[in-house]
């Protein structure tokens, strides 16, 4: 996951926020941004846990996310089976007061936890959402050891509550590898030229 710092401009009328600009993405990622195929806005209640979600690869989906309101803990999990960082995760706490945007590349799972009521994330996606291609790994998988709220305070969807563990998903051949993920990333970059 890449954290991209945006900019904020203020005057007596208010503020203008720029959470994403292609030059910053190019500098951080070493390549151009994907062509945006869809945007999604999610609002959640305190304790909502969304993820660990990913898209079957191919085609895979890259995501750029920005917290518009409230506060979230945003977590990326490397799901690429042959990656040296397979199963490892990185987390950032972001809020509506932040100008940061987070990039979750193809092959990396995404989870976020609402740390406040009305926590709102805006996603830019490299491919349209297609339910039949969406996958999940159980967020409470002890092998991942993610920093989740206590079970009694967690709000999970039925899909996430019934998702396989990382080991089960790997054994079933549901997880991507680095080569397929890299090909999908290159395909989104060429689509943006």
> So what's the pLDDT on residue 192?
60
pLDDT tens digits for range 34-66: 889 999 999 999 999 999 999 999 999 999 999
pLDDT in tens, 4-20: 888 888 888 788 888 88
pLDDT value at residue 93: 96
Catalogue the active-site residues. Answer: 53, 123
pTM listed for this prediction: 0.90
pLDDT at 8: 86
Is the CB of residue 107 less than 8 Å from the CB of residue 58?
Answer: no
Q: Which two tokens stand for residue 99?
A: 């100008």
- Please list the ranges in the chain whose pLDDT falls under 70: 190-193
**pLDDT in the model for residue 16:** 87
| Contact by Cβ (8 Å): 111, 49 | yes
Structure confidence at residue 132 (pLDDT): 96
Q: What pLDDT does 23 receive?
A: 84
pLDDT of residue 21: 82
Q: How far apart are CA 18 and CA 126, in angstroms?
A: 19
Distance of CA 8 to the CA centre of its chain: 23
Distance CA 97, CA 108 (A): 26
pLDDT of residue 20: 81
């Amino acid at each position: 996951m890449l954290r991209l710092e945006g900019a904020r401009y203020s005057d007596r009328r208010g503020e203008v926020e720029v959470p994403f600009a292609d030059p910053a993405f190019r500098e951080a990622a070493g390549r151009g941004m994907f062509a945006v195929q869809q945007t999604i806005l999610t609002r959640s209640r305190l304790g909502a846990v969304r993820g660990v979600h990913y898209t079957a690869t191919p085609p895979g989906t890259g995501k750029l996310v920005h917290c518009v309101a409230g506060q979230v803990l945003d977590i990326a999990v490397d799901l690429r089976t042959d990656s040296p960082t397979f199963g490892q995760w990185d987390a950032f706490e972001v809020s509506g007061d932040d100008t940061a945007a987070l990039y979750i590349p193809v092959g990396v799972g995404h989870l976020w936890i609402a740390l406040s009521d009305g926590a709102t994330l805006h996603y830019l996606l490299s491919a349209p959402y297609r339910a039949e291609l969406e996958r999940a790994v159980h967020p409470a998988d002890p092998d991942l050891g993610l920093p989740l709220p206590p079970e009694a305070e967690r709000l999970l969807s039925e899909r996430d509550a019934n998702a396989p563990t990382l080991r089960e998903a790997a054994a079933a051949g549901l997880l991507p590898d680095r080569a397929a993920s890299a090909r999908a990333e290159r395909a989104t970059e060429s689509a943006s030229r």
